Amino acid sequence: MNPNRFLHPLGVALGLAFATAGFAQTAAPSAASASPTPSAASNAPAGSAQGAPNAASGSGRGRGARGARGASTTPPEPAKLLPLEAWARPADGKAVFTEDFESGAINDKIWTVHVTGNATAKVQQDMVAHGKNALMITYPAGTTRDVAFIGAKVPEALRDHFYGRAYMYISGVPDPHSVFVQSGSVGFPAAANWLEIGGYQGHFQPSLQITAPTADKPRGEVPLFQGTLPIGRWFCMEWEFLDKPDRIVVWVDGKLDVNAPFSYPKITNPDVSKDSGLIGGFFEFNLGYRTFASAALIPKDINIYYDDIAISDKPIGQLAPVAAKPAAPAASGAK
């Protein structure tokens, strides 16, 4: 594959001013239902944090006791899952922007790299979905609240509504709120408003984040919980972000897994919509990783891989299935 196989005219202006502010946290909302949690597959890279993501650990949603650097150390509140409703998906179309990292590096003419602390973002060849290269985000053992993302601007024609795709491999994550993909207004992620795809207790956590408050729209967030977050294998995540009205839709390997409409109850002015235009337009999209877990809950490195990224005004569709990585042979004398 060639890097940036094509750039539509809508996507010629790319780049990102990506700041360091924290992400809001509130208690989990109440909805109905339950769903199984995934287990880690045996082909995770050596040295990565892995295991049952539903094990008891620190909470990213509550206001319990805090450990080092403010990370929560109290047990998480059980996720109450939003019932999944059907969602019409139009026919696939041509991507506006693609990136497969086959150049062997993060293209600084397209992407802005934003990292803090010990977290890192780099292109590597050991774990790929297709081709020879993929992006690797590493969150070292004992890290807490650091950030590693790459981001690019959303073309103007897609400011209210766009589709995205990324092949992902998640080595393992702790229970508290993890963040993977975001898109928001000018100033994101500091004084801005954005939609976010994250994880919590082995499920997806689609969220609305308001950190650029106004008199009619106070600061806050709306976290929802749906679906099953794949762990320890490559998967194709496709998403749809809408701002009018506000909604996140996610497909995993072509199957609908998240359909989350947002309403913001902190809006009390009857002349201001509670469920539309809350973001103020998508100006940047960003992918990477951060978590709200305490350092003690990250005993091994967390590695998140991204490959074959694309955005468009229509769904983009999947590429060829990723071949399963064969298990490593047992060491001599192993039983």
Which tens digit of pLDDT belongs to each residue from 70-126? 455 566 677 899 999 999 999 999 999 999 999 999 999 999 998 999 999 999 999
Q: How many helices (H) and strands (E) does the chain have?
A: 0, 15
Query: Would you state the pLDDT for residue 65?
Result: 40
230 backbone dihedrals φ, ψ, rounded to 5°: -65, 135
- Reported as type and span, the H/E element at residue 232 is none
Asked if 195 and 208 count as a contact pair (C-beta separation under 8 A), the reply is yes
- Give, as one character, the DSSP assignment of residue 66: B
If we measure between CA atoms, which residue out of 313, 11, 300, 1 comes closest to residue 167? 1
CA-to-CA distance for 68 and 141, rounded, in angstroms? 14
- Whether the per-residue pLDDT at 248 is higher than 80: the answer is yes
Query: Would you state the pLDDT for residue 198?
Result: 97
Query: Would you state the pLDDT for residue 181?
Result: 97
Average pLDDT over residues 307-318: 98
Query: Would you state the pLDDT for residue 101?
Result: 97
CA-to-CA distance for 135 and 121, rounded, in angstroms? 7
CA-to-CA distance for 232 and 67, rounded, in angstroms? 28
- Whether the per-residue pLDDT at 303 is higher than 50: the answer is yes
CA-to-CA distance for 5 and 8, rounded, in angstroms? 10
Asked if 236 and 92 count as a contact pair (C-beta separation under 8 A), the reply is no
pTM of the entire predicted model: 0.77
The CATH T-level fold of domain 9-41+67-312 is Jelly Rolls (2.60.120)
Give me the residues paired with residue 114 across strands: 149
CA-to-CA distance for 163 and 90, rounded, in angstroms? 11
* 140-152 confidence digits (pLDDT tens): 999 988 999 999 9
Where residue 227 falls among pLDDT bands split at 50, 70, 90?
Answer: very high
CA-to-CA distance for 309 and 328, rounded, in angstroms? 29
Fill in the amino acid letter for 210. Answer: I
Query: Would you state the pLDDT for residue 156?
Result: 95
The radius of gyration of the chain's CA atoms, rounded to the nearest angstrom, is 19
Percent of the chain with pLDDT strictly greater than 70: 74
- Whether the per-residue pLDDT at 293 is higher than 70: the answer is yes
For residue 244, CA distances in Å to 90, 158, 280, 317 come to 17, 12, 9, 23
Asked if 168 and 318 count as a contact pair (C-beta separation under 8 A), the reply is no
- Give, as one character, the DSSP assignment of residue 78: P
290 backbone dihedrals φ, ψ, rounded to 5°: -155, 155
CA-to-CA distance for 189 and 20, rounded, in angstroms? 7
Question: Of 24-33, 93-102, 125-134, 289-298, which gets the smallest average pLDDT?
Answer: 24-33
